[in-house]
Amino acid sequence: MLGEITDLKVDMRDVRYLRQDQHDEHIKECNKLRTENGEIRDGYDQLREKYGKLLADAKQAIESRKVYRTECHQLQQRCHETTQALEKANGEADKARTQLTRFKSSLSTMTKAKSQITDGEVCSKVDQMFYSIQDFALKASRSGTFDIRNLSKNDSEWLRSFILDAEASPKALNPYIIATLVSQYLMARFDPEYYFGNSSDQLVGAVAQIAKAAYTKDVSETKAWLEPTRRLLTLIDPPMLQESDSLHITDAVEEIGRTLGPLLSNKWDPKAEASLRKITTSAFELFRMLQQSNAVFRMNFTGAALSGGESYFSPELMQAVASAEEDSTLDGRQVQMLVFPGIFKFGDEMGSNQDEMTVICKARVVPQKESHPAGSMQ
């Protein structure tokens, strides 16, 4: 083994050269590491610089966030205050709208009520119509020989609905019989179908039939429809409606004349016809005013022998004529004659409370004379 070592021959130059190579490699590695270290240092410096900038940006961001938080808090406060102010403004606006609605409603109510005929006006116009008819009847009864037997059979039958035993009535009641006939003929034309007069024109006739049919279905809707429709007819053909109104008056006057003529032995004063035309014109104007009202007006045809029954005096519903007795003493007395119907109103000027009735005008009636036993003091 020693011999083997002895035999080992090593060239020291090779050893030296080998170490030089390694040294060179180490130097290269060292230089490379130095270079990499320099690059790392440069990178580190760059990172430190970036970190410094990021740190500064972060500090600035933190400060900005504090500012933003402050501003946000201020905005929230302002938003809260604005919300409260808006709620207050909305509340005030709601109050203002409510007040405006009430004002408009009140104004509408006032306007509606103002355009409606009042109870006092109705009563005044009805009284005027009754006294005009009564005055006409007095004059007519003096113009000819009154004979109730000259009435036609139909008129006699019809009159029995309003007068008890008309043939046996005393002469003093003749004017009231005439007044009864006139008032009943006029009141028969109170229905809404006559609101447009009486014309042979097809359009007016068709509208009148609609009013007649609709009134049986819905009174309020029909009444609200009447005047606007009349205005439309006036726009379409003004003379047509004027002629229809004039013909309506003429028909009524002639109808009454045909009944009263024979009753007065055909002694008919021309002045009486002019007076009757004036009464009829006023009556039809009043009828249209009543139909325009939001309330519903009805005639109280309390007949003396209506439907075969009997009628008894009621101070709440009737007013006595041709009697010297006080109405309060006539309560329960049998009625001899219905001279003029009463006027009932259902509802108010606003069209409400249609089930409530108000007696606007009492019916004018002739009560029977109180019978007394023979020999008793009257």
Q: Which whole number is the average pLDDT over 305-321?
A: 77
Q: Which amino acid is at 342?
A: G
The pLDDT, as a whole number, for residue 106 is: 53
Find the range with the poorest average confidence among 1-15, 155-169, 337-351: 1-15
Q: What is the mean pLDDT of the chain?
A: 82
The pLDDT, as a whole number, for residue 195 is: 92
Q: How does residue 125 score in pLDDT terms, banded at 50, 70 and 90? A: very high
Cα separation of 138 and 183, whole Å?
A: 14
The pLDDT, as a whole number, for residue 104 is: 54
The pLDDT, as a whole number, for residue 228 is: 92
| pLDDT exceeds cutoff 70 at 92 | yes
Cα separation of 229 and 203, whole Å?
A: 11
CB 339 within 8 A of CB 300: no
Q: Which whole number is the average pLDDT over 63-77?
A: 86
Q: Which amino acid is at 27?
A: I
For residue range 171-194, what is the model confidence (pLDDT) as tens digits?
888 899 999 999 989 998 998 999
Q: Which whole number is the average pLDDT over 124-140?
A: 92
For residue range 325-362, what is the model confidence (pLDDT) as tens digits?
888 899 989 888 889 999 999 988 776 777 889 999 99
Element (H, E) at 14: helix 12-115
Q: How does residue 302 score in pLDDT terms, banded at 50, 70 and 90? A: low
Among residues 203, 211, 287, 210, the alpha carbon closest in space to that of 243 is found at 203
| pLDDT exceeds cutoff 70 at 201 | yes
What phi and psi values does residue 336 have, to the nearest 5 degrees? Answer: -85, -40
**Residues ≥6 apart with Cβ < 8 Å to 184:** 158, 162, 341
| pLDDT exceeds cutoff 90 at 248 | yes
Q: Which amino acid is at 316?
A: E
Among residues 328, 327, 320, 287, the alpha carbon closest in space to that of 304 is found at 320
Q: How far is CA 283 from CA 126, 128, 300, 308, in A?
A: 8, 10, 16, 29
| pLDDT exceeds cutoff 50 at 110 | no
For residue range 249-287, what is the model confidence (pLDDT) as tens digits?
999 999 998 888 888 876 666 677 889 999 999 999 999
Q: What is the value of pTM for the model shown?
A: 0.65
